[in-house]
Amino acid sequence: MLAKRIIPCLDIKDGQTVKGVNFENLRVAGDAVELACRYAEQGADELVFLDITATVEKRKTLISLVQAVAKQLNIPFTVGGGISQVADVEALLEAGADKISINSSAVREPALIETLAKRFGSQCVVLAIDTNLYEQDWWVYVQGGRSRTDRKLLDWVREGEARGAGEILLTSMQHDGTKNGFACELTAQVADLVNLPIIASGGAGKMQDFADVFTAGKADAGLAASVFHFGEIPIPTLKQSLREQGIACR
């Protein structure tokens, strides 16, 4: 079994780190640069930075904030939000990102996945998928979870792999911010479907939730926000708990 990764996520709106429930009722969770510094010190394996309103507001990710966060890190750093062309990725990598995350733009123009994978390598391209249950099926949502598309989750996962994505960041909107546990059954279904690392997102509330998504959910990484931002689960304690259960961590 490959060592599992613990990944804090900074959801950014108006330059502030925020967190909500089911993608709504956002509250401020702290300064992005301070949080990034704390997570690097605590032993996080990677950090994800998502400018969650960049697509809706039709603007680019906040480059200056990415630069400031990157200066605090010595771990892999993924950035997403408002990325729609090669120049956006070049700017973010130059600002200090190691990987980029695409979501709405990939659904709108699937060939973008191939373009970026060929230009920067699949290891640089994370396909973020926001999904929710509608009429007994899981569908892909875009624009920060505001719009349901005509794409079914499993079809899109297969296509994303075929087009060259290097990882899948899977967020269950139904579980997001609830702290009731990850969507383990769904995550396992996706993990069984493709030969890509799956980052599970949405629902972390206690340390056992990470153990569950790494075992029953077959995830390669667990991503969370509020439980880390508000100090509910210290990363060193979480890793120790996982190791005690026989789950290898980085």
61 versus 20: the higher-pLDDT residue is: 61
pLDDT value, residue 25? 47
For residue 29, the model assigns a pLDDT of 57
Q: Please give the average per-residue pLDDT across 73-93, as a whole number.
A: 93
Taking the C-alpha atoms of residue 130 and residue 201, their distance in angstroms, rounded to an integer, is 9
Alpha carbons 235 and 42: distance in angstroms, whole number? 6
**Given a cut of 60, is residue 6 above it in pLDDT?**
yes
The pLDDT score that the predictor gives to residue 54 is 61
Q: Beta strands 47-51 and 77-80: pairing type?
A: parallel
pLDDT confidence of residue 55? 56
* Residue 80 near residue 61 (C-beta atoms within 8 A): yes
Active site members: 11, 130
Helices 207-215 & 235-244 angle (0-180, nearest 10): 50
Q: What mean pLDDT, rounded, does the chain reach?
A: 90
Contact 220, 186 (CB under 8 A): no
Tens digit of each residue's pLDDT (9 = 90 or more) over 100-132: 999 999 999 999 999 999 999 999 999 999 999
The residue ranges of every structural domain in the chain are 5-244
Structure confidence by residue, pLDDT tens digits, 161-215: 999 999 999 999 999 878 999 999 999 999 999 999 999 999 999 999 999 999 9
**pTM value?**
0.92
- Tens-place pLDDT, residues 22-53: 545 455 557 888 899 999 999 999 999 988 66
- Per-residue model confidence (pLDDT) at position 22: 54
Q: What is the pLDDT of residue 23?
A: 46
pLDDT at residue 187 in the model: 98
User: How do beta strands 125-134 and 167-172 pair?
Assistant: parallel
Res 50: pLDDT: 86
pLDDT-derived band at 61 (thresholds 50, 70, 90) equals low
DSSP β-ladder status, 47-51 and 5-13? parallel
- Cβ atoms within 10 Å, residue 24: 11
Mean pLDDT across the stretch 1-29?
Answer: 72
CATH fold of the domain at 5-244: TIM Barrel (3.20.20)
